[in-house]
Amino acid sequence: MAQRLSRDDVLHVARLARLELSDEEVDRFTGQLAAVLEHAADVAALDTSGVPPTAHPLPLENVLRDDLVRPSLDRAEVLREAPDVEDGRFKVPPILGHAP
């Protein structure tokens, strides 16, 4: 298992997860997440060499259906719940920044 989780690890993971944390949250999460990971380290004692991973409890093959046109969600009902819309579409802040 990896070494003890650091404050920098927490900041890095927060950026990956698109979370802005206060200094107090960073401190608190560093200790709490390290404690959970240390508890989880008990599974390292198990020999899993040659054991395949289980991602899912059912032995599923691909599930296919006929590609037929059918009704989908009502557009007005969906857009009614969006924070911002324009011309029947979702509207978001600039992605690439403003023109100079």
Partner 1 sequence: MTAHALAAAVRSGERRAREVVESHLEAIEAREGDVHAFNTVLTAEALGQADEVDRRVAAGEDPGPLAGVPVALKDNICTRGIATTCSSRILKGWRPPYDATVVTRLREAGAVLIGKTNMDEFAMGSSTENSAFGPTRNPHDLSKVAGGSSGGSAAAVAAGFAGAALGSDTGGSIRQPASLCGVVGVKPTYGLVSRYGLVAYASSLDQIGPLTKTVADAALVLGVIGGHDPMDSTSIEESRRRPRLTEILAEGVDGLRIGVIGELTGDADPDVLARVVAAGNALEAAGAKVEEVAVPAAAYGLSAYYLIAPAEASSNLARYDGVRYGLRVDGADVNEMYARTRSAGFGAEVKRRIMLGTYALSAGYYDAYYGHAQRVRTLILREFEAAYEQFDVLLSPASPSTAFPIGAKTDDPLAMYLMDVCTIPSNLTGHPAMSVPYGRGDDGLPVGIQVLAPALGEPVMFRVAAALEASLQ
Contacts with partner 1, residue ranges (CB under 8 A): 1-2, 5, 9-10, 13-14, 16-21, 25, 29, 32-33, 35-37, 39-44, 46, 48, 51-58, 60, 63, 65, 73-74, 77-78, 80-84, 90, 92-95, 97
Shortest Cβ distance from residue 87 to partner 1 (Å)?
16
Angle at 58 between CA 57 and CA 64, to 5 degrees: 140
Shortest Cβ distance from residue 11 to partner 1 (Å)?
10
Dist CA 71 CA 6 (whole Å): 50
Sheet strands (E) in 1-100: 85-86, 89-90
Rounded (10°) CA dihedral 12, 16, 94, 83: -120
Q: Strand pairing partners for 85?
A: 90
Shortest Cβ distance from residue 67 to partner 1 (Å)?
13
Shortest Cβ distance from residue 100 to partner 1 (Å)?
15
